[in-house]
Amino acid sequence: MAQYKLHCFCQSGNSYKVALYLQCAGLDWEPVLVDYFNGETRDPKWRETVNEMGEAPVLDDGAMRLAQSGVILSYLAEKTGKFRSTGEAQRLEALRWMLFDNHKFTSYFATYRFMKSFMKQEPDLGVMAFLKGRFDGALAIVESHLGQSRFMAGDEPTIADFSLAGYMFYPPEESGYDWPKSNPNLAAWIERMRALPGWKGPYELMPGQRIEPLR
């Protein structure tokens, strides 16, 4: 039995943040499928027994159960020392980018991608334009930052990089973004992340049926 169990599914970039960390950190883990597209996270029993927030990922470490990718990444880094910040200044810098990611980078991009590729009903064009505009603003900040720094909080990867990487390895047809063409600094950072020992893409690393984009 693996030490860590990660409740996840392959379309979830938030789950991938943790799955990729576990993989690159060389930790003993196994995935547990969350059947999101058939409504498992909306099931009252699942919410009662797994996560009252109705979200993935969820990490089990023995009797410890944690939700929210940022909390999980912080817990694992402190416990294992893998990809942990060096010193207080870098810890706060990593936290700064993780909060930015959760509020502006991943949040807008994940919603935009879901509505574009996986939501059954046609998305509202005005909502899509709003989400894209908000993400593009956050993207410009990250692109500029990565022109000056190899990783988000310095010269070596930290949990901040795993946080921002959550949705960056999905195929361009799911979002319409082609990073090497539009964002060279981000694309170079993506390749640095891809070069980490143990790296695997989200559809290799997590369970679930791959779904072709609906539009």
Strand segments (E) across the chain: 4-8, 29-33, 58-61, 64-67
| Same-domain check for residues 67 and 92 | no
pLDDT for 87: 96
Domain count, the chain: 2
pLDDT by residue (tens digit) across 158-189?
A: 999 999 999 999 999 999 999 999 999 999 99
Beta bridge partners, 60, equal 5, 65
Percentage of the chain lying above the pLDDT 70 cut? 100
At residue 56 the predicted structure's pLDDT band, cuts being 50, 70 and 90, is: very high
Helix (H, G, I), strand (E, B) or coil at 154: strand
Q: Residue 10 is part of a domain; what is its CATH number?
A: 3.40.30.10
Per DSSP, what are the bridge partners of residue 59? 6, 66
Q: In the prediction, which pLDDT does 115 show?
A: 98
- Phi, psi torsion values for 45, nearest 5 degrees: -65, -40
Is residue 148 a part of any domain in this protein? yes
Residue pair 79/28 in contact (Cβ under 8 Å)? The answer is: no
Cβ(65)–Cβ(59) below 8 Å:
yes
Indicate if 103 and 170 belong to the same structural domain: yes
> Percentage of the chain with pLDDT > 90?
100
Please report whether residue 122 resides in a domain.
yes
Measure Cα distances from 80 to 22, 71, 113 in Å. 10, 14, 33
Domain that holds residue 145: 87-194
What pLDDT, on the 0 to 100 scale, is given for residue 66? Answer: 98
Enter the tokens of residue 74: 């912080």
Q: What CATH number did the domain enclosing 104 receive?
A: 1.20.1050.10
Instruction: Name 29's bridge partners.
Output: 4
38 shares a domain with 103: no
80-136: pLDDT as tens digits: 999 999 999 999 999 999 999 999 999 999 999 999 999 999 999 999 999 999 999
